[in-house]
Amino acid sequence: MTTPYRILERKRAGERLSVEEVRQVVKGATDGSWADAQLGAFLMAAAIRGLGPQETRVLTQAMLESGDLWELRNDIADLGDKHSTGGVGDKVSLVLSPILAACGRPVAMLTGRGLGHTGGTTDKLESIPGLDLALDRESCLRTVTETGMAIGMATTDVAPADRKLYSLRDVTATIDSLPLITASILSKKLATGAAGVAFDIKTGSGAFIPEPARAHELASMLVRTAEALGTPTTALVTDMSQPLGRWVGHAAEVKETLECLEGDGPADLMEITFALCREVGSLVGRPLGEGELEAAVASGRAREVFDRWAAAQGAESGWERVIDQALAPEEVVLTVPSAGYLSAVDTKEVGLLLAEAGGGRQRPTDTIDHQVSLRVLARLGDELVAGQELGRLYLRRNDDDLAARLLGCFHISDQPVEPPPLIRPV
């Protein structure tokens, strides 16, 4: 067996590690036989020197196998899944799952919490009183069987190696390494054992990977690695140059989800959702027919699925009224300072400012105010007049400085601009 010192020495020199050496690293992270300093050194060497396709695949598989494997497709052969790299106002998972379930395509997702400028799907759903997101294999399978969908958090027994390595990536400035991102995402996402997974890779000012070229590289790496491990996978690169949909804020995004399921969803959010629905359907061998998704919404079936699912996972009676009224009490109207065209949005800063106001998590231990929200009333490329309403901010208490900084995230040009494409082919 190669010693940790020798493995680190070889990786630091840019050499490719053997299958057994990569597995030794993951075993050391799982059982504690590698010190944090050694694991941090490996992560830094991997981030600087890179990991080849085989190293990435072996790292992913070893992290995946460090915990429980649910293999749900053994029970539900056409089970689909979807994952997003996250952004500001991204509530696609909440809209997609009941629509697919209403079309007879079952979905199960294990989601996470947000940190920094993004809101996690788990955080959004925790604004629903009583909803239980602690899923194990048995409860996940039961909920999918009963309602067609399940969304929850993974147990601590899913990919424990990733929890250790991710915490160290956060403090060693190795978060943006694409092979390490790939292994982290897939070690959790493939643990459920869905028949197919569609990835939504965000790019633009509000994405973790703002550069389109790197977003495409990550998309390709995820697909290549997942398929090498036996899971059919596809990916779309979608725009996060501005908040997705009309609302940002946890309870407000759940409310917007319900509007989408009732046929009143914003065009950008519905276009991405439908595109990913079609990807999932094709992956699991059950392509969606023309107009099938739209009919699931128009008929009310998608909203009915969401309601049945929420009840199955413990939501309190009357939770809809709580969500409908869940806006922080201090309303601030943001107005356009000068005429022109909305040319750019510092979307990451929008998310960070809402987190600063209490509507997000700056540290893992922070408590979220689910009612802090922003309604966005203009889109990139829109022609605006001075004094026009740009958005409405809902805070727990008045904060003129924060409102002014938030308004400064929206940039006005005197020349027309073309918004970036919403969906980029991979």
Of 23, 73, 82, 83, which residue is the catalytic one? 83
Q: Is 163 a catalytic residue?
A: no
Of 91, 117, 164, 169, which residue is the catalytic one? 169
Whether residue 110 contacts residue 152, with contact meaning beta carbons closer than 8 Å, is answered with: yes
Q: Is 379 left (phi over 0), alpha (psi -120 to 50) or beta?
A: beta
Whether residue 293 contacts residue 96, with contact meaning beta carbons closer than 8 Å, is answered with: no
Whether residue 129 contacts residue 251, with contact meaning beta carbons closer than 8 Å, is answered with: no
Helix or strand (DSSP H, E) at 255: helix 250-261
Whether residue 215 contacts residue 134, with contact meaning beta carbons closer than 8 Å, is answered with: no
- Number of Cβ within a 10 Å radius of residue 333: 11
Q: Between β-strands 233-239 and 196-203, what pairing exists: parallel, antiparallel or unpaired? A: parallel
Residues 6+ apart with CB under 8 A from 365: none
Q: Is 83 a catalytic residue?
A: yes
Of 84, 93, 177, 184, which residue is the catalytic one? 184
Q: What six digits make up the tokens of 248?
A: 């940002």
Residues 6+ apart with CB under 8 A from 167: none
Give the DSSP letter of residue 132.
Answer: -
**Strand ordering across the sheet containing 107-111:** 149-153, 107-111, 80-84, 196-203, 233-239, 423-424
Give the DSSP letter of residue 338.
Answer: S
Q: What six digits make up the tokens of 74?
A: 């053994």
Residues 6+ apart with CB under 8 A from 14: 49, 50
Residues forming beta bridges with residue 201, ordered by sequence position:
237
Q: Is 27 a catalytic residue?
A: no
Q: Is 97 a catalytic residue?
A: no
How many Cα atoms sit within 13 Å of 117 on the Cβ side? Answer: 19
Residues 6+ apart with CB under 8 A from 76: 106, 108, 141, 144, 145, 195
Of 68, 162, 239, 369, which residue is the catalytic one? 162
Q: Map residue 272 onto helix, strand or coil.
A: helix
Cα separation of 150 and 154, whole Å?
12
Q: Is 169 a catalytic residue?
A: yes
- Number of Cβ within a 10 Å radius of residue 106: 25
Q: Among candidates 351, 336, 420, which has minimal Cα distance to 381?
A: 420
Q: Among candidates 193, 169, 221, which has minimal Cα distance to 46?
A: 169
Query: Which residue numbers are catalytic?
Result: 83, 162, 169, 184, 188
